[in-house]
């Protein structure tokens, strides 16, 4: 390892840059899809749903695989591999043969493996590099990077929309290789996580890394704390199994964390992010390829919401924000269907209500889900429980992306979103009755509360 000092800002920036990668590929299909549908003459929602959702299918496996391999190979090395796989997948998608549906689905699965890996590795790396007092705000930076990646992809889609359709969508997908290349080059200079170095016996290297990102008086104490945590986790791995997640003392908290991750996707946010041009097309009659300004508006709202969250993260209780956000989100989905049942309205009204949904999602459920998941699981089962929550989240994202075009082909958009609105309100009720408050409580206090609730 080079003895040359690396700026902590450089480390945190490129440590979080994987979020840009993650966000770009979530967003890019939004603009590419209308051109792809026209170029390949895709009719019906089934094929469109599979092409879009195949990314999330890959991500289910990518997150699980990356978590296991990063414990053996290191966080940094796995981020590098993910960036390489992402570059390959993006370029392969960009050279898709005409009508090559199976080929494109395969490349999207490859991309999904890389995206899923990045979504698991980036928060882990950031939490291990950041000092304790900065972890909350740095989790906000990760969310900001993700939504910034989405906004960048929407702007790229908009700028390329004047190209011939068979070139436009391929170039949109291929350009995802650019942030992957930037990530790869940046991570080449990043150090390995001190936690991984200590776990693998490389204490001197860990000490060197900590001199770059900690005050001198903090280093020895942190090394001792990492050693103690590693000892506890090693003991937990031997004494717990997947079945432990359903044991009485853990069950309440496991259900709380996993279900919050599950609800975050089944509320329908990704239906907007993936399909907003098609939603506008159906509402207004305007061609979807001409409606690419709407994703940019959604992207700006998401970025502003992420900034708002960073400003208020430690000023309001987690449960209160989740319930308030979920209620407004649910009503913004249900009201268009209710209003339309009484009177004829401008079809674009639904798009206005969707923007309200995005605004409240951006500073409540989008970031808070992962803050809560990081806080609610007891240490002994945290690895397995967090992996289960992440997998459930990607499964939800996959299902919503797959079924939304099928649902809108068989019923009105207002009816589809009203269904998601009901799910939002069910999520609010779940948070009210089944999720503990974690803000301001130690992990030990949260674990004790969960055990007491389950014993009642």
- How far is residue 377's CA from residue 444's CA, in Å, rounded to a whole number? 10
The single residue listed with the structure tokens 């459920």 is 365
- The distance between the two most distant Cα atoms of the chain, rounded to a whole number of Å, is 71
Q: Where in the chain is the domain with CATH 1.20.1250.20?
A: 7-190, 243-456
Assigned token pair, 217: 């008086």
Instruction: Kindly calculate the radius of gyration of the chain based on its CA atoms and give it in whole angstroms.
Output: 22
Q: In whole angstroms, how far apart are CA 330 and each of 63, 268, 300?
A: 29, 10, 21
User: In terms of Cα–Cα distance, which of 278, 302, 271, 276 is closest to 397?
Assistant: 271
Q: Please state the separation of Cα 430 from the chain's center in Å.
A: 21
Please, are residues 10 and 362 in contact by the beta-carbon 8 Å criterion? Answer: no
Average pLDDT over residues 320-339: 96
pLDDT of residue 382: 75
DSSP state of 292: T
- Residue 422's alpha-carbon distances to 165, 330, 350, 395, 426, in angstroms, are 38, 6, 16, 20, 6
What's 7-190's CATH class? mainly alpha
Question: What pLDDT digit, counting tens, does each position of 365-385 carry?
Answer: 998 988 888 788 887 777 778
Task: Please tell me which of 17-26, 27-36, 240-249, 318-327 the model is most confident about, judged by mean pLDDT.
Answer: 318-327
What is the overall mean pLDDT for the chain?
87
Q: What is the pLDDT of residues 284-317, one digit of tens each?
A: 777 777 778 889 999 999 999 999 998 887 788 9
Exposure string for 382-395, b = 16+ CB within 10 A, e = fewer: bbbbbbbbbbbbbb
- Average pLDDT (67-90) is 88
Residue 355's pLDDT band, with cuts at 50, 70 and 90, is very high
Architecture, CATH, for domain 243-456: Up-down Bundle (1.20)
**Global pTM value:** 0.85
Tokens 């790229």 belong to residue: 156
Most confident of 57-66, 106-115, 442-451: 106-115
Q: What is residue 95's DSSP assignment?
A: T
Provide the pLDDT for residue 176: 93
Distance CA 417, CA 174 (A): 32
* Statement: residue 89 has pLDDT above 80: yes
With residue 425 as reference, give the H or E element that holds it: helix 413-434
């Amino acid at each position: 390892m080079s003895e040359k000092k690396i700026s902590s800002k450089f480390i945190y920036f490129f440590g979080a840059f994987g979020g840009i990668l993650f966000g770009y590929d979530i967003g890019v299909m939004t603009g590419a899809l209308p051109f792809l549908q026209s170029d390949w003459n895709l009719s019906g929602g089934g094929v469109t749903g599979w092409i879009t959702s195949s990314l999330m299918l890959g991500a289910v496996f990518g997150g699980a695989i990356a978590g296991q391999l990063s414990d053996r190979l290191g966080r940094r090395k796995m981020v590098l591999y993910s960036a390489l796989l992402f570059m390959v997948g993006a370029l392969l998608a960009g050279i898709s043969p005409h009508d090559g549906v199976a080929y494109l689905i395969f490349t999207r699965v490859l991309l999904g493996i890389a995206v899923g890996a990045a979504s698991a590795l980036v928060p882990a790396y950031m939490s291990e590099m950041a000092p304790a007092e900065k972890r909350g705000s740095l989790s906000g930076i990760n969310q900001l990077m993700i939504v910034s990646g989405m906004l960048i992809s929407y702007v790229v889609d908009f700028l390329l929309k004047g190209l011939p359709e068979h070139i436009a969508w391929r170039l949109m997908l291929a350009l995802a290789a650019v942030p992957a290349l930037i990530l790869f080059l940046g991570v080449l200079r990043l150090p390995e996580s001190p936690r991984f170095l200590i776990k693998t016996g490389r204490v001197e290297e860990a000490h060197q890394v900590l001199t770059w990102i900690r005050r001198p008086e903090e280093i020895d104490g942190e090394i001792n704390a990492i050693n103690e945590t590693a000892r506890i986790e090693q003991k937990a791995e031997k004494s717990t199994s997947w079945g432990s997640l359903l044991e009485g003392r853990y069950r309440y908290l496991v259900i709380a964390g996993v279900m919050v991750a599950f609800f975050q996707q089944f509320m329908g946010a990704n239906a907007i992010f993936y399909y907003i041009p098609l939603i506008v097309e159906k509402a207004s009659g305007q061609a979807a390829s001409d409606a690419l300004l709407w994703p940019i508006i959604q992207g700006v709202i998401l970025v502003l919401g992420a900034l708002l969250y960073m400003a208020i993260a430690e000023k309001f209780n987690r449960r209160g924000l989740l319930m308030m956000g979920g209620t407004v989100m649910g009503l913004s989905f249900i009201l268009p269907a209710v209003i339309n049942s009484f009177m004829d309205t401008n079809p674009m009204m639904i798009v206005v209500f969707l923007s309200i949904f995005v605004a409240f999602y951006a500073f409540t459920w989008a970031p808070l889900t992962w803050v809560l998941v990081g806080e609610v699981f007891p240490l002994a089962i945290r690895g397995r429980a967090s992996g289960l929550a992440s997998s459930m989240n990607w499964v939800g994202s996959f299902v919503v992306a797959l079924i939304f075009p099928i649902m809108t082909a068989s019923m009105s958009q207002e009816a589809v979103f009203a269904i998601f609105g009901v799910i939002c309100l069910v999520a609010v009720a779940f948070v009210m009755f089944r999720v503990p408050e974690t803000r301001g409580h130690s992990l030990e206090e949260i674990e004790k509360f969960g055990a007491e609730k389950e014993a009642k």
